[in-house]
Structure 1
Amino acid sequence: MRKDLVDTAAKHHVATQEQRHRAAGHISSLVSVSEHEAGYGGQVAESQSLDEAVIAGQAALSRGDWLAARSEFERSLRQFESPEAFEGLSWAVWWLEDVPRCLDSREQAYRLYRRRDDARSAARMALWLGDDHNEFRGATAVADGWFHRATRLLDGLEPGPEHGWLTVFDAHAALARHDTASARRLAVQAREAGRRHGAVDLEMFGLATEGLALVAEGLVDQGMRYLDEATAAALAGEYENLAPAAWTCCRLISACEEVRDYVRGTQWCRQVDEFSRRMNIRFVTGVCRAHYAAILTWHGDFAEAERELTRARDDLTENRPYWRAEAVVRLGELRRRQGRLAEAEELFGQAPGHPLARRGMAEVSLERGDPGAARDLLNRVLRRIPTTNPVSRAGPLELLVRAEVALGAYESAAGHLEEFCSIAGTVRTQPLQASARVVEGLHAAATGRSALACECFQDAIEMFEGCQAPLEAGHARLELARVLETLGRVDEARREAGIALRCLADLGVTARQHDVLTARQVEVLRLVADGLGDKEIAARLVVSEHTVHRHIANIYIRLGCSTRAAAVAGATRLGLF
């Protein structure tokens, strides 16, 4: 979370300058001729030339022309080594992902600002150096050193935008440890500081941070309104610095995905993609593509989702491992939904610390018939998320109920089910409410309340179809077919199973075996596929012919067919063998 905050730290310097310089927003304000005379021995002619080059560099940054910006700042530095030119160059190469030169330029700017005794500007560079070491190298100890240095440099100075950015940083640190109350309080302080100092980007980024905290606490409507407003301001060009504008966009779309508000997410993805393309911000384009691919995956458009994720990986280079993981884990989720579990597991393993990767691994364990491993993993995840952060608990809780039902731990599952349903009722997005009905139905079916289970699955199917989630609707239909079978409603069960399996086949999904047939039913069907009759199968399995006949009848129901050949063909098509 630090990166979101630190990114925004740079823009404060712009807020202290003339309005024409604020538009560039990526580097500190230009120094005047008199300042050059005082600090650099009266090199007036050199400083005048520097001023023009830095202005041109800033203008190039503001329009997303990173190559031109680099050229202008290099031109300035050939004449005179100023901290402003080094800072500007650091931004140009930051966007171009030239990591060694970015770090070197930031350090040069830091040293020159210190030599000038400009503590505010030096603190700004320290903040960005901390962010760079986190984002590009994962060197958290080095990053912390720079963050603490920035804090000490600003200590005792008159309050300014720089202090507001540090406050936003503290807010994000609070969010990272799930202390949403502190995050909200600090975000409000940052927002108010931005308003006082006329720094729109600080004000709006503070609002976005407050929105994130509200969403995390389950106050989704208010939180999303704040994120909507902050993102609108970012895309309208109100942010002096493009970096926090980019983070705001990414966080909004991420929040949409977390609360499963796919309608809002789709609308903003289009806007953000257009913005990032116009400004040539590749990593934002990549993150946007990754989130949009998650929406496409939800809607069952797997081919287009894969194309988007492939492009996202191209946009998100190895230089930004944190952001590249956004594409990797969603590709893993796509593979899991397609039933390609080994590939999914390998992809999740590339980003083991990502929340979606941990949830994905739990899903893989469930689908491989190992609910115990899934439960252990999910309990570890939930221990780190307090109940005051319900939105982050929702996904793990949903899977934990499924795992505990599979293990027969019905009492524990009931407690987690109650918490999950409460969160779904608070958030109120249709996909989350549909998922709550599914796990409620699973628990009801497992505890002998078949009529309630039928109602739950029917409600879930209707809601999933309403929000265009064919895969989820298909799996809910399979669960409904199983319950109908236990109630002796054979024709209805066969019909629901047939619809579900045709849906899975149309999506190209390898069905989850445990959702369709029991292990014994698969065993019987394999022998049917080998050409054995009922009597031979009974002898092979050491059971009665009546038992074999019953298994085959149930297989017909679950596969929505009425002949041995159709059953074998259907199971083969679904990848059950």
Structure 2
Amino acid sequence: MAGRERVDHLRVGREALDRGAWEEARRALERAVELAPTPESYEALGWATWWLYDGPAVVAARERAYELYRAAGDRAGAARVATMLGIDHDDFLGDRAVARGWLRRARRLLEGLETVPEHGWLAALEAWYALIEDGDTTRGRALGSAAARLGRELGSPDIEAVGMASEGLALVTEGLVEEGMILLDEAATAALGGEFEHLWAVPWPCCFLIYACERVHDYSRAAEWCRKMEGFSERRGLGFAWGLCRAHHAAVLVYQGDWETAEEELAEAGRSLEEQRPPWVVEVTVRLAELGRRQGRFDEAVSYFRAVEGHPLAFLGLAEIELDRDRPAEARELAERLLRQVPANARTQRAGALQILVRADAVLGELDAAAAALADLDAIATLVGTQPLEATAARSAGVLHAARGDREAARRRLEDALDLLRGARLPYEAARTRIELARLLADLGRSREATEQALRAEEELRRLGATRDADRAAALAGRERPPLTPREREVLALVAGGLGDRQIAEALVLSEHTVHRHMSNILTKLGCSSRAAAVARAAEQGLLEPPRRGAGSVTG
């Protein structure tokens, strides 16, 4: 009787898993393993707890399933669970050494067996480690290709698509963008088009696609796929996947100039991942730091970057801050440190550090070194062929020409960079390039044009919320900076109307964190220690913005 009851509970649990009823599945499967533990029941329980984000319970259930599969002599079953335990220890616990130990064990168990799906999944996961953790595109590309081939042989769209995505990301990273994006687009289509047998694997090719877009600054493509992923995640309950995708989507918004929405997205992604996949929060932290850097909040940005020390984006962000603080030697050291870690064939990951080297060496007077870095950057931009990378190379060339004293050549290259950045719709980078162009035009005696470029840069930077850069542009144009941005004036007007942070957040559709940041900036700019004093001073200076229609009606 107990055996029949166990079978019934296992069946009920599996049916609940198929419907996405995770709590129901967990209850049924906990009863199944209680009555008569089998490796199948524990493996199924591992999936129920996985979908409920209960990391310790996932690991406990799968380790017990592994033991029972080994005891039963089922090497493929044990290898399958060992592979998943590798993912679990990394995703839930951040224990990468333990994760790799499980993968090596899975590899050993599969030796000598006929081809089974477990071979494909293991190859795909090893490709992930090679690409994301080790930066080894050669090995990642080979493993991805092997996984895709196994998927086709086994008739598994899941394994085939994940393998294709791995191979595609490797190709894009090496600079073969068109070839790689073809594979990535197809893999993501299979994942979101309902072809996958395993729902848990759907985010895999989608995340690789967004990673690839970030590496070559193809933000239009990234935005399209983020929207598709968001819709699929909401329909199918893939909250953890959209949490990570949301962090990448926020990076797209940052580059496109929608900083307030980006900040909201990052706050939501951070809350989601903190609960569901804590080790993944670093991807939110480093992007918050980059947003803070662009906004001119250097101390906060440095703190965030240092919290994720070793992340490639942290090296680049800290180096940019050092350049803005007129510390080119420190910026060069950071760029060189990153380049030592990135393989030579991971070309698209090297471009950011190379442009920093050009700028830092130009300031330091190391013009031969700057020229060598520019040559490498030019080669990458030519190979990749995207507007943002071509703009980066053009801007770097302009900097080097200016350092050599060839101002006309510098002007032409900066103008080329500006045109490319405007075409790519990257407003912050375009505005910063305008500042450099304005400075150069002033040196050429073309003061009217210099002032025009500086004023246009200031206008765009104030719209974005890049206060520090906007002040630099204003100084070039010979203008005093306005004390408050339009959004800050709007917030202060609501404060004057008696609203608190939560009410202001509701009225302006912002997070309380964003409102608090605006208020902190207002107090600093006006030199006040309290909200009441800030309201009074703003009223004296005529800075209070009338509230938007309906904003003052929020009560509570």
Q: Same fold (TM over 0.5)?
A: yes
Query: Distance in 1 between the 2:18 and 2:31 partners?
Result: 15
Question: Secondary structure at 2:356's aligned position in 1?
Answer: helix
Q: Does 1:154 align with 2:113?
A: no
Query: Distance in 1 between the 2:445 and 2:227 partners?
Result: 49
Q: Does 1:113 align with 2:69?
A: yes
Query: Distance in 2 between the 1:322 and 1:366 partners?
Result: 30
Quote the offset at 1:504 in angstroms.
Answer: 1.5
Quote the offset at 1:403 in angstroms.
Answer: 1.5
Q: TM-score, normalised by structure 1?
A: 0.80
Cα deviations across residues 317-363 of structure 1 (Å, max 9, x unaligned)? 16624321111111111110001101111111221122111211111
Aligned to 1:370: 327
Task: Summarize the Cα distance change of 1:115–1:391 in structure 2 as closer, same or farther, 3 Å threshold.
Answer: same
Matches within 5 A, 1:459-470: 459-470=416-427
Task: Summarize the Cα distance change of 1:271–1:96 in structure 2 as closer, same or farther, 3 Å threshold.
Answer: same
Q: Does 1:474 align with 2:427?
A: no
> Out of 247, 264, 267, which is 1:307 matched to?
264
Q: Does 1:281 align with 2:249?
A: no
Query: Distance in 1 between the 2:101 and 2:421 partners?
Result: 49
Cα deviations across residues 372-398 of structure 1 (Å, max 9, x unaligned)? 111111101101222211111111112
Cα deviations across residues 183-203 of structure 1 (Å, max 9, x unaligned)? 322222221111111121111
> Out of 91, 100, 114, which is 1:135 matched to?
91
Quote the offset at 1:228 in angstroms.
Answer: 0.6
Matches within 5 A, 1:87-486: 87-175=43-131, 176-317=133-274, 320-486=277-443
One-letter code of the match for 2:225? W
Aligned to 2:16: 57
Question: Secondary structure at 1:143's aligned position in 2?
Answer: helix
Query: Distance in 2 between the 1:58 and 1:393 partners?
Result: 43
Question: Secondary structure at 1:443's aligned position in 2?
Answer: helix
Question: Secondary structure at 1:270's aligned position in 2?
Answer: helix
Task: Summarize the Cα distance change of 1:100–1:186 in structure 2 as closer, same or farther, 3 Å threshold.
Answer: closer
One-letter code of the match for 1:201? D
Cα deviations across residues 473-503 of structure 1 (Å, max 9, x unaligned)? 1111111111111111111111111111122
CA contact (8 A) 2:188 2:209 kept: yes
Larger radius of gyration: 1
Quote the offset at 1:215 in angstroms.
Answer: 0.8
Query: Distance in 2 between the 1:568 and 1:46 partners?
Result: 79
Task: Summarize the Cα distance change of 1:508–1:178 in structure 2 as closer, same or farther, 3 Å threshold.
Answer: closer
Aligned to 2:504: none
Q: Does 1:498 align with 2:455?
A: yes
> Out of 4, 10, 25, which is 1:69 matched to?
25
CA contact (8 A) 1:318 1:324 kept: no
Q: TM-score, normalised by structure 2?
A: 0.83
Cα deviations across residues 260-283 of structure 1 (Å, max 9, x unaligned)? 001100100100111112222222
CA contact (8 A) 1:53 1:75 kept: no
Aligned to 1:544: none
Query: Distance in 1 between the 2:259 and 2:140 partners?
Result: 37
Task: Summarize the Cα distance change of 1:346–1:220 in structure 2 as closer, same or farther, 3 Å threshold.
Answer: same
Quote the offset at 1:415 in angstroms.
Answer: 0.8
Quote the offset at 1:572 in angstroms.
Answer: 9.2
One-letter code of the match for 1:307? E
Query: Distance in 1 between the 2:3 and 2:245 partners?
Result: 46
Query: Distance in 1 between the 2:124 and 2:238 partners?
Result: 23
Query: Distance in 2 between the 1:510 and 1:483 partners?
Result: 22
Quote the offset at 1:413 in angstroms.
Answer: 0.7
Task: Summarize the Cα distance change of 1:436–1:515 in structure 2 as closer, same or farther, 3 Å threshold.
Answer: farther
Quote the offset at 1:365 in angstroms.
Answer: 1.4
Structure 2: runs of 5+ lacking an equivalent = 486-520, 528-556
Query: Distance in 1 between the 2:360 and 2:471 partners?
Result: 13
Query: Distance in 2 between the 1:331 and 1:343 partners?
Result: 9
Quote the offset at 1:115 in angstroms.
Answer: 2.2
CA contact (8 A) 1:87 1:105 kept: yes
Quote the offset at 1:515 in angstroms.
Answer: 5.7
Query: Distance in 1 between the 2:482 and 2:9 partners?
Result: 73
CA contact (8 A) 1:56 1:72 kept: no
CA contact (8 A) 1:283 1:323 kept: no
Aligned to 1:529: none
Structure 1: runs of 5+ lacking an equivalent = 1-41, 518-554, 562-566
Cα deviations across residues 518-553 of structure 1 (Å, max 9, x unaligned)? xxxxxxxxxxxxxxxxxxxxxxxxxxxxxxxxxxxx
Using the aligned pairs only, state the percent identity.
44
CA contact (8 A) 1:398 1:420 kept: yes
One-letter code of the match for 1:457? L
Quote the offset at 1:284 in angstroms.
Answer: 1.2
CA contact (8 A) 1:126 1:146 kept: yes
Query: Distance in 2 between the 1:183 and 1:503 partners?
Result: 41
Question: Secondary structure at 1:327's aligned position in 2?
Answer: helix
Aligned to 2:509: none
Greater relative contact order (Cα 8 A, min sep 6): structure 1 or 2?
1
Query: Distance in 2 between the 1:479 and 1:572 partners?
Result: 24
Matches within 5 A, 1:2-81: 45-46=4-5, 48-60=7-19, 63=20, 65-81=21-37
